[in-house]
Amino acid sequence: MNTNDIRINLPASKSMSNRWLMINHITGSRFRITKLSTSADTRLLRKLLTQLDEGTSDTYYCDNAGSVARFLMPLLAITPGHHVLTGDARLRQRPMAPIIEALRQMGLRIECTDVEGFLPVHIQGGIPSKRTVSVDPLLSSQFVSALLLVAPRLPEGISLTMTQRPTSRPYIEMTCDALRQAGIEVRRSSNGRTYYVQPLAGKPTAASVTIERDWSSASYFYTMALLRPDLRLRLLGLQLDTCQGDSAADAFFRQLGVQSTEVRSPYRASSRSITLQAAASWLAPPSSTASTAPTSCPPSPLQPPQSAYAPSSKASAT
């Protein structure tokens, strides 16, 4: 291998891992998931889903993982029994009001035991009396994803309308894409405000799922390629045809001269990688005699053009 060729193993996508863990649990299919993220959030979600399966405790401690708490809350709300959802001091300061209010709209019983709109909450699991719900996604798109993920278990599915522009629509679309891959019918209204998810009919179509590598991590290596055109970087396991929103980095850095080439193994059809190399540099080549080195903060990937309900640049969610 040329000394200027660098092979990089990216971590698996935490966002995709968490969605597939939820779908696996909700559909009851227990299909095989390979290359699952080893992140703390994913390991915690897996542990708490196992706890729910085994009924070892009715208190679900989410540490400081906001995404785990938001994904679990609707699931606990439709699971018979009494449950307590809580976390550390930092998590108990993070807003949960939009998803609490949405679940109450559906006729589910959730009580904030300390401060209204925040953890801890006491949940009495049951069957929702309504399938139509509205939710404010401004603080986090996770509120929308969490409700969509449990919809296949609801007797009539869900009709979910967003009251404002979501913080990050690509993550909502990632949720919808995973549900569709599992054989669940998902539709979006023409104005992009309402999602319809049907109950699971029959056995899920997914027999096994391989988690993609993480595009959020890849964006930093795009910056490296831009600053060091003498290097050729191969990002192992990454693919261009993806539902991950941060793949917009490809289009952004292409404008700056970084070319992405997807490479597939001739021996393993599922093995992919992306090779990065800058066509030209807008920086002087590195010099051993230079007194200072150029520094750069990784640019944020360009977001898709914003429509009335396109992603907002104010925040990001997983």
Domain ranges of the chain: 14-210, 212-278
In this structure, the number of other CB atoms found within 10 A of the CB of residue 157 comes to: 19
| Predicted local confidence at residue 24, as pLDDT | 94
Using the predicted structure, report yes or no on whether residue 309 has a pLDDT greater than 70: no
Q: How many residues does the chain have?
A: 318
Q: 234 with 275: CB under 8 angstroms?
A: yes
Alpha-carbon span 222 to 10, nearest angstrom: 13
How many CA within 13 A on the CB side of residue 104? 13
239-275 pLDDT, tens per residue? Answer: 999 999 999 999 999 999 999 999 886 555 456 899 9
Q: Choose among 56, 76, 71, 74: nearest CA to 17.
A: 71
135-164 pLDDT, tens per residue? Answer: 999 999 999 999 999 999 999 999 999 999
In this structure, the number of other CB atoms found within 10 A of the CB of residue 299 comes to: 14
68-79 pLDDT, tens per residue? Answer: 999 999 999 999
Alpha-carbon span 225 to 103, nearest angstrom: 46
Alpha-carbon span 203 to 183, nearest angstrom: 8
Instruction: State the maximum Cα–Cα separation within the chain, in Å, rounded to a whole number.
Output: 72
Using the predicted structure, report yes or no on whether residue 31 has a pLDDT greater than 60: yes
Q: 46 with 21: CB under 8 angstroms?
A: yes
3-state helix, strand, coil in the chain (%, to 5): 30, 20, 45
Contacts 24+ apart (CB under 8 A), 261-266: 263/234
| Predicted local confidence at residue 131, as pLDDT | 95
Using the predicted structure, report yes or no on whether residue 306 has a pLDDT greater than 60: no
| Predicted local confidence at residue 265, as pLDDT | 65
Answer whether CATH 3.65.10.10 is correct for domain 14-210: yes
Using the predicted structure, report yes or no on whether residue 287 has a pLDDT greater than 60: no
| Predicted local confidence at residue 307, as pLDDT | 40
64-120 pLDDT, tens per residue? Answer: 999 999 999 999 999 999 999 999 999 999 999 999 999 999 999 999 999 999 999
In this structure, the number of other CB atoms found within 10 A of the CB of residue 35 comes to: 16
**Lowest pLDDT segment from 205-209, 215-219, 292-296:** 292-296
Alpha-carbon span 121 to 111, nearest angstrom: 5
Full-model pTM: 0.85
